[in-house]
Structure 1
Amino acid sequence: MEPVSLPQALASFTDRWSPRIVTAVNDYDVRVAKAEGEHVWHVHDHTDEFFLVLDGELHISLREPGCERTVVLPRGSVFTVPRGIEHKPYAPVLTEILLFEPTGTSTVGDHHDAVPAHVDATTGHPLT
């Protein structure tokens, strides 16, 4: 159990949409990821999804009952997508994010569109 430097953790990989687990809190993973371009429309049936933008800018399109909208998260912003809400993250530039998710949560949720090759369908990779 040693402190984890987020800049060093993020510098240790180049993959986009492929989170690394930096630590755990109770039954939750704390993950960092690099994002660029589009993710995939997906839904988490049983958990909310927390985003913190460390650097760059993240857009999250949401399909809520009766409407579709996009929230824009500049550096330093947080947003939580409620469970059951279909959403699609998009990063117009290279963006670094931190996520809190229950251990074992898939990056493409419980229901999703076809997963493109640049999106890693994973429950998170160990930080090496």
Structure 2
Amino acid sequence: MKKVNLAEAFSTFSDYWSPKIAGDVGDFQVKLAKFKGAFDWHHHEREDELFLVVEGCMRMGFRDHFVDLGPGEFIIVPHLVEHRPEALTDECHVMLLEPNTILNTGNIENELTNRNLQRIA
């Protein structure tokens, strides 16, 4: 067992919208990601997601409303709910808790789809 320092872990990568695996919790993974700009609209057929803002600010867009989040705040997006995360600051650092079966782009595949996540911790 070892601890993970979030600031140190975030300093190990610079790419955006490409989650990194920081740990495993049963069938779930703790992932770290840097957001810049807006992601694509998508949903997940079976998986719920938790987004916890560590640094910066983000907006979680839904088709009928949006929720703004700052450091220390999180939101859970249930499966089948269409959503679009977006960084409101130049860069936003986010910790995610998701089932290990999840594909980052959900029901769509494009240049942001990442099937081979890097493990950083």
Same fold (TM over 0.5): yes
The amino acid across from 1:25 in the alignment is V
The amino acid across from 1:2 in the alignment is K
Percent identity (aligned):
32
Deviation at 1:120, TM superposition (A): 4.6
Quickly say closer, same or farther: Cα 1:72–1:123, change in 2 above 3 A: farther
Distance 1:120 1:16 in 2: 12
Which of 96, 101, 114 is 1:104 aligned to?
Answer: 101
Deviation at 1:20, TM superposition (A): 0.7
1:49 aligns with: 49
Unaligned runs of at least 5 residues, structure 1: none
1:72 aligns with: 68
Q: Report the 3-state secondary structure (helix = DSSP H, G, I; strand = E; otherwise coil) of the residue aligned with 1:76.
A: coil
CA RMSD across the alignment: 1.5
- Is contact 1:106–1:123 with CA below 8 Å preserved after alignment? no
Distance 1:4 1:76 in 2: 17
- Is contact 1:31–1:124 with CA below 8 Å preserved after alignment? no
Aligned length: 120
Unaligned runs of at least 5 residues, structure 2: none
Deviation at 1:59, TM superposition (A): 0.4
- Is contact 1:107–1:123 with CA below 8 Å preserved after alignment? no
Alignment of 1:14 onto 2:14: yes
Distance 1:80 1:98 in 2: 12
2:77 aligns with: 81
The amino acid across from 2:118 in the alignment is H
**TM-score, length of structure 2 as denominator length:** 0.91
Quickly say closer, same or farther: Cα 1:123–1:104, change in 2 above 3 A: farther
Distance 1:74 1:122 in 2: 28
Show structure 1 runs of 4+ deviating over 4 A: none
Deviations, residues 71-119 of structure 1 (Å, cap 9, x unaligned)? 111111110011100001110220000000111311101x13x63x4x3
Which of 106, 125, 128 is 2:118 aligned to?
Answer: 125
Distance 1:5 1:122 in 2: 25
